[in-house]
Structure 1
Amino acid sequence: MAETAFLDGPNARLAYAFTPGSGPVVVFLSGYKSDMEGTKAVHLEAWAEARGRAFLRLDYSGHGQSGGVFEEGCIGDWAADAQAVIEAVTEGPLLLVGSSMGGWIASLLTQRLGARVAGFVGIAAAPDFTEDGFWAGFSEEERTKVMEEGVTYLPSAYGDPYAVTRRLIEDGRDNLVLRAPLPMPYPVRLLQGSGDEAVTRETLLALFDHIDSPDLRLSLVKGADHRFSEPGNLAMIEAAILDVLGAPAA
């Protein structure tokens, strides 16, 4: 496992782990309240290292080992954090692997990093969830609470309640990606489980429909949940990465 290193990012001191190797660099972008010590991130790092492939995982500000306060962050901050680490640590082509919110972050980075991006793998990708998930699902009372008091809390099936802040909602509106075509002129693979209770199939299909790619494929896995971390799921992620890279599975 690569050692954790740190750099001064745009919002806080940021933690990351980089494994050198051949490119494109596989960049794992984790989800909302998740971090680079999650099952998928650590598994894919070991998998990449065994194949001599460059790999980067990182913690956004307010997540994991990075500085900052989670409740003070937002999508724009976390995308800027990821971009800062990528630009400071890596060179050459990139394959972005985005899990849940990381799929939204990756979608933003495909626009900001331009020609450096050589492929995208989305795992239960959750673009625009602050607007189409949180805000759309709020009652009028919850909407009033978050806008007037600055925060409300939602239950989570995967840990502590989610803190949803007014800043998160308002910044999310500035970073929506499902309101216009998403040009991705390279291979794209989208993976999701049918048992995902956090990201709907409608979101998955909306992302599929908005991505403009010459090689776009979607896989919906019967029974898999939002974590998408069972052994068979991890093998599918590996296969998707190899497929995007045009590399043999063996």
Structure 2
Amino acid sequence: MSIKYDHVKSHGNPRNIAYCHEIPNGAKLSILWLSGYCSVMNSTKASAISEWAQKESIEMIRFDYSGLGKSEGEFATANLSQWLDEALLIYQKIQHRPTIIIGSSMGAWLALRLTETLQRSHQTQPKALLLLAPAVDFTHEILLKKLPKDLLGQLENQGVIAIPSQYDEEPLKFYQQFIQDAQQHRLLNHPSIITTPITIIHGEQDHDIPIMLGIKVAAHFKNTQLFTINDGEHRLSRAQDLQFILNTLKNLIS
């Protein structure tokens, strides 16, 4: 994977963003991959889609959010506003090709916000969105609603909490500034203007982002179809999950 860097300055925070841009000969379609919270561009799903895209002569671009992976910045001060600016920068590197944006978990929220931003500014919109276990508005729809009082107090007093992860040894950290910034990016508390076709894949055994949120997202946005995997969990990274994602992607392209 060949890593490149580009400079972005937003919200008073200059930083270099690491990205991977693969353009096979004869590419007529592009994929922009947006990772989940604390995830990076060489994750299992992103790598599997990249390998498939190269075989199918499809352009693909992916990047590490600031504060994560090979990108500069402090995770403690990063937020959706910064990551949206970075997503817009990376999206603009795709030249004159229909684009499918694939957003995983929090990346699905970012994909929707990016599409909304493009539509409001009359820029070229994606051909379609593919949202995997979409964690739309998860800060307010899930996190704040589930936190016990002691952790809510810690978040307010110390500005950060750490929650054990079933996938990693290190706990997930959530910062008060991230949650406060996320308020302005919420989508489910007002009507949507997005007209891009949306496809959702959600595991019915997802305990991190429950299937009910996926159903709520599907009902909120126009021109949306929802597929569920009855034994699928949040990461959707098993061989059968990856194959389901690729089959869905093939159908979107055709």
The TM-score normalised by the length of structure 2 is 0.90
Partner residue in 2 for 1:134: 143
Deviations along 1:163-198, whole A, 9 cap, x unmatched?
111101101111101112334433321001112111
Are residues 1:41 and 2:46 paired? Answer: yes
Asked if the contact 2:34/2:102 (under 8 Å) is kept, the reply is yes
Are residues 1:72 and 2:77 paired? Answer: yes
**Residue 116 (structure 1) shift:** 2.2
Deviations along 1:77-117, whole A, 9 cap, x unmatched?
21211111222x21233211000010011010111122421
SS at match of 1:133: helix
Partner residue in 2 for 1:155: 164
Deviations along 1:132-191, whole A, 9 cap, x unmatched?
121111223222221221111111112121111110110111110111233443332100
- Aligned pair count reads 242
SS at match of 1:16: strand
Partner residue in 2 for 1:4: 3
Fraction of identical pairs, as percent: 25
| Structure 1 stretches lacking a partner, 5+ long | none
Asked if the contact 1:9/1:85 (under 8 Å) is kept, the reply is no
Within a 5 Å distance, the mapping from 1:117-196 to structure 2 comes to 117-159=126-168, 160-196=170-206
Partner residue in 1 for 2:95: 91
Are residues 1:29 and 2:38 paired? Answer: no
RMSD: 1.4
Determine the C-alpha separation between the residues in 1 that align with 2:251 and 2:8.
32
| Structure 2 stretches lacking a partner, 5+ long | none
Determine the C-alpha separation between the residues in 2 that align with 1:133 and 1:63.
23
Determine the C-alpha separation between the residues in 2 that align with 1:18 and 1:96.
14
SS at match of 2:29: strand
Determine the C-alpha separation between the residues in 2 that align with 1:158 and 1:193.
16
Asked if the contact 1:124/1:193 (under 8 Å) is kept, the reply is yes
Within a 5 Å distance, the mapping from 1:229-244 to structure 2 comes to 229-244=237-252
Within a 5 Å distance, the mapping from 1:10-21 to structure 2 comes to 10=9, 11=13, 12-21=15-24
**Residue 23 (structure 1) shift:** 3.5
SS at match of 1:135: helix
Q: Which amino acid aligns with 2:251?
A: D
Asked if the contact 2:32/2:60 (under 8 Å) is kept, the reply is yes
Partner residue in 2 for 1:209: 219
Determine the C-alpha separation between the residues in 2 that align with 1:6 and 1:139.
41
Determine the C-alpha separation between the residues in 2 that align with 1:23 and 1:123.
24
Deviations along 1:207-230, whole A, 9 cap, x unmatched?
1011112xx211110111111011
Asked if the contact 1:98/1:105 (under 8 Å) is kept, the reply is yes
Determine the C-alpha separation between the residues in 1 that align with 2:114 and 2:29.
15
Deviations along 1:221-246, whole A, 9 cap, x unmatched?
0111111011111111112222222x
More displaced stretch, 71-80 vs 53-62: 71-80
More displaced stretch, 122-131 vs 143-152: 143-152
Asked if the contact 1:23/1:94 (under 8 Å) is kept, the reply is no
**Residue 4 (structure 1) shift:** 0.9
